Amino acid sequence: MSDNSLSFSFTRNSKYLLLLLIPAWFLLYHNLQGLTDKLVFDIFIMPRGKHLTEAIRFFIFEVPKVLMLLTLIIFFVGIIRTYFSPERTRKALEGKSLFTGNVMAASLGIVTPFCSCSAIPLFLGFIESGIPLGVTFSFLIAAPMINEVAIVLLFGLFGWKTALIYVVTGLIIAITAGWVIGRLHLEKWVEPWVYQLKAGEHPEDKRLTFHKRIKMGFEAVKEIVGKVWIYVIIGIAVGAGVHGYVPQDFMASFMGKSAWYSVPLSVLIGIPLYSNAAGIIPIVSALIEKGAALGTSLAFMMSVIGLSLPEMIILRKVLKLPLIFTFIGVVGTGIIIVGFLFNYIF
């Protein structure tokens, strides 16, 4: 990651630096497998076909690959995100009908900058400006579940098809779950003070120059990659161990297609299990290789990433317990259906 740290100090010349860094990125990325093999077989002189060799080769190849992908994508997503904000999203959602509102909220949830620590002010801001509860939920489900880190890891370790499946099914779950919650009219389970709240005038956004947006792209890389790199390394290390040592089809008996109960069980286990996408996806990718079914694995990942206990605890400040359980129930059911569906199709 030395090229990153370098670039931060030179952001003033970021435009020229980009012209240099991006080709360098592609050159390195495309030669990564060859470089890895050279390192493992010619420099470490490790015997081919051995478990340890395979595990180390997997690790040495996947870690830089995933970190490079993360750096590039988060940089561009960071720039794109400067064009979105919760305030603009809120404005776009005002006065939308239930279904249209759900679709827009879920889609905007992907691109709007969101951190679970801001879940409460965001929830309050949406409700206060009259956005229906169900629409707000579509946003709150999509925003953490479909994030750029998850997409990059799925793309890097599973391929673009799985990444696309994850995004599309995630969107459908967020839209439907929000719509269902809206139809159930559960406003009575929102803490009463929420509806009495009067928010102040929102401070006006300054227009950003493009130079500033590029700088914010670098900042996003520094913040997000700086936070998740350790999970990527640990996740891939565990994945490499599984890749090299766990026997073929070992997972088939309990995460395979024939074990129908594995889908709801994976979702249940995934709720208290709190990890981010960066830690969980490499492990799951190795499990699939060992016979875990795609649907079951998908359900497990969505549950771990999308239904997190810490976020529920934060939301307890504004939602009564029955609503939190309804939220978990509706989203959990959606994830289980997706799991069964993909086990059935593939």
Binding to other proteins in span 211-230, by CB under 8 A: 219
Between 193 and 261, CB nearer to other proteins? 193
Q: Does 261 bind other proteins (CB under 8 A)?
A: no
Q: Are 298 and 345 in contact (CB under 8 A)?
A: no
Binding to other proteins in span 127-166, by CB under 8 A: 128
**Which of 86, 109, 235, 295 is close enough to bind other proteins by CB under 8 A?**
86
**Which of 193, 209, 247, 248 is close enough to bind other proteins by CB under 8 A?**
193
Per-residue binding string, other proteins, 264-303, x by CB under 8 A, is: ----------------------------------------
CB of 169 to other proteins, least distance (A): 28
Q: Are 177 and 141 in contact (CB under 8 A)?
A: yes
Q: Does 259 bind other proteins (CB under 8 A)?
A: no
The C-alpha atoms of residue 330 and residue 324 are separated, in whole angstroms, by 10
Amino acid at 7: S
The C-alpha atoms of residue 133 and residue 117 are separated, in whole angstroms, by 19
Contact segment (CB under 8 A) with other proteins among 22-30, 193-201, 249-257, 293-301 equals 193-201
Count of residues engaged in binding other proteins, rule: CB under 8 A:
24
**Which of 30, 43, 192, 201 is close enough to bind other proteins by CB under 8 A?**
201
Closest CA to 164 of 176, 177, 154, 156: 154
Q: Are 284 and 292 in contact (CB under 8 A)?
A: yes
CA atoms within 13 A on the CB side of 36: 19
Helices (H), the chain: 2-9, 14-30, 32-37, 51-81, 86-93, 98-111, 119-128, 133-145, 148-158, 160-183, 192-196, 210-245, 252-255, 262-270, 277-289, 294-306, 309-315, 321-345
**Which of 47, 49, 192, 203 is close enough to bind other proteins by CB under 8 A?**
203
Q: Does 4 bind other proteins (CB under 8 A)?
A: no
Q: Is 71 exposed, middle or buried (0-12, 13-18, 19+ CB in 10 A)?
A: buried
**Which of 200, 248, 261, 345 is close enough to bind other proteins by CB under 8 A?**
200
CB of 221 to other proteins, least distance (A): 14
Contact footprint for other proteins (CB under 8 A): 85-87, 90, 113, 115, 117-118, 120-122, 124-125, 128, 193, 197-203, 219, 317
